[in-house]
Amino acid sequence: MIIDVVYVQDSQIQLPRSCAGRQSDAERGANSSAEPVPDVPEEANVSSFHVLIAGGGIGGLCLAQGLRKAGVSCTVYESAPGVVLTGYRLHMNGAGGRALQQCLPEHLFELYMQTSRTTPRREVMVILDHQARELGSRPHIGPPNDPDRPHTAVNRRTLRQIMNVGLEDVVQFGRAVRAYETDTDGVRVLLDDGTTAVGDVLVGADGINSVVRKQLLPDVSIVETETRALYSIAPLTAELAAGLPEALFDGFACASGPNGALFAYGAYQPRRPIAEAVAELAPAASIDPVDPYLMVNLGLPPATAPNWGDVPDLWRSSAQTLHSVMRTAVEGWHPALVGLVEHVDPTTIFPVAIRHLQPADPWPAGRVTLIGDAVHAMPPSFGSGANTALRDAAALSRVLAQAARGDRPVVEAVAQYESEMRAEVFPILRASADPRALDPNFLPDDVLAANR
């Protein structure tokens, strides 16, 4: 069983001979709001095998759903106090859809589908110039589009709220993982409140600044691209939509201007009003309504770029100042694109520093592994970070279920997951970080080959 103990700094904690354990009753009840999981796992809980997950973001929640569906016990430790707002629209491809279909109970997958955007006219990223003239387009990567798992888009917080349904007894908010220790039988995580928990496997799903990765793969560095971005949304009224170029409603659209600014646009128009879909499919779930919007992102070149005037410190600027940066960037562009920036809600603008990881050289597998941004954070050029985090979650839950059933040794299962992840996802990380990533003709063969 899981033992919570006071963590004494600098002490070397001896792991019990077997760390394999399940949550104690006290822990299991800690965060429960007692919504029953309607889709009871087909397989009964397979053993006392227990998975510890650091991070309850896109990847961590999907992994917990996948493990739960396979009857494997897990606990998610999430540092944030709840499913907080961390962004707007996420492009979803067939790989993400496939992973969600595997991991979620049927009614939640259906809720994901119904709250995803209406399938766009063209499943491509369209590249425009600053006068809204089309320069080219690029197909999205990932498995072929199909009606069950279309290329689409979701509202990030809605997806996380959907993935949180039924995990009230599994996700522990406000509990950050600080470090871990392993032995041949298990792994112990140290939490920032001074307690510890033990399990058979620890999965770092704790994002680009992952503490788990820093301990497991200390040589992996974070690359600061020096490109900054401003993310925002404009409420999507029929009147606004009518005046915009049609290409802005395709899969995704980018427009660049002579000043080096790059705008990216993505519509979020759910297939069905969120409240209506929730009322039918998960009436007890706490999922907020979201009105249709157009995400408007401004990518700013590095501060040293020529042709670019002074940009204030984006992290210390008011909403109005950030809005004026967007207005300046779009000066002289097509009137519809200028008008769109005017419609941006200034209170929604936030800055992002574009960073990514260097793909790590292969490492020996063990009881600690990584998924999503913790191991392959990538620039958003191919809209793939969340999709690959979901892909990892599905792949890892499959092999961990085999280990939990005793069908194979746990380290062998982790090794298979890691080697497939490196083969399938690292090419996307490399391509996303490539300076040619926004060239419509840039689609490396290894990305295509690994993602059918």
Ligand X SMILES: Cc1cc2nc3c(=O)[nH]c(=O)nc-3n(C[C@H](O)[C@H](O)[C@H](O)COP(=O)(O)OP(=O)(O)OC[C@H]3O[C@@H](n4cnc5c(N)ncnc54)[C@H](O)[C@@H]3O)c2cc1C
Interface positions with ligand X (CB under 6 A): 54-60, 77-80, 87, 90-91, 176-177, 205-207, 211, 231, 352, 372-374, 380, 383-387, 389
Helix axes 335-343, 319-329, angle to 10 degrees: 170
Cβ nearer to ligand X, comparing 49 with 268: 268
For residue 178, give the H/E element and its range.
strand 177-183
Do residues 254 and 317 touch, judged by C-beta distance below 8 A? no
Residue closer to ligand X, measured from CB, 131 or 358:
358
Closest distance of CB 28 from ligand X, Å: 19
Return the closest-CA partner of residue 135 out of 125, 144, 127, 146.
Answer: 127
Rounded to the nearest whole angstrom, what is the least distance from the CB of residue 40 to ligand X in the complex?
26
CA–CA gap between residue 268 and residue 259 (Å, rounded): 28
CB of residue 322 to ligand X, shortest distance in Å: 14
State the minimum distance, in angstroms, from the CB of residue 136 to ligand X: 20
CB of 61 to ligand X, least distance (A): 8
Per the CB < 8 A criterion, the answer to whether 228 and 353 are in contact is yes
Q: Would you state the structure tokens that stand for residue 357, as one six-digit string? A: 């990881």
Q: Which is nearer to ligand X, 79 or 259 (CB)?
A: 79
Closest CA to 49 of 243, 186, 249, 204: 186
CB of 100 to ligand X, least distance (A): 12
Q: Hey, what are 442's tokens?
A: 């840039």
Q: Which of residues 82 and 406 has its CB atom nearest to ligand X in the complex?
A: 82
Determine the straight-line distance between the first and last CA of the chain, rounded to whole angstroms.
41
- Residue of closest CB approach to ligand X: 57
Q: In whole angstroms, what is the distance from residue 102 CA to residue 109 CA?
A: 9
Between residues 57 and 97, which has the closer beta carbon with respect to ligand X?
57
Residue 105 or 380 with smaller CB distance to ligand X: 380
In three-state secondary structure terms, 73 is strand
Which pair of tokens denotes residue 69? 């569906």
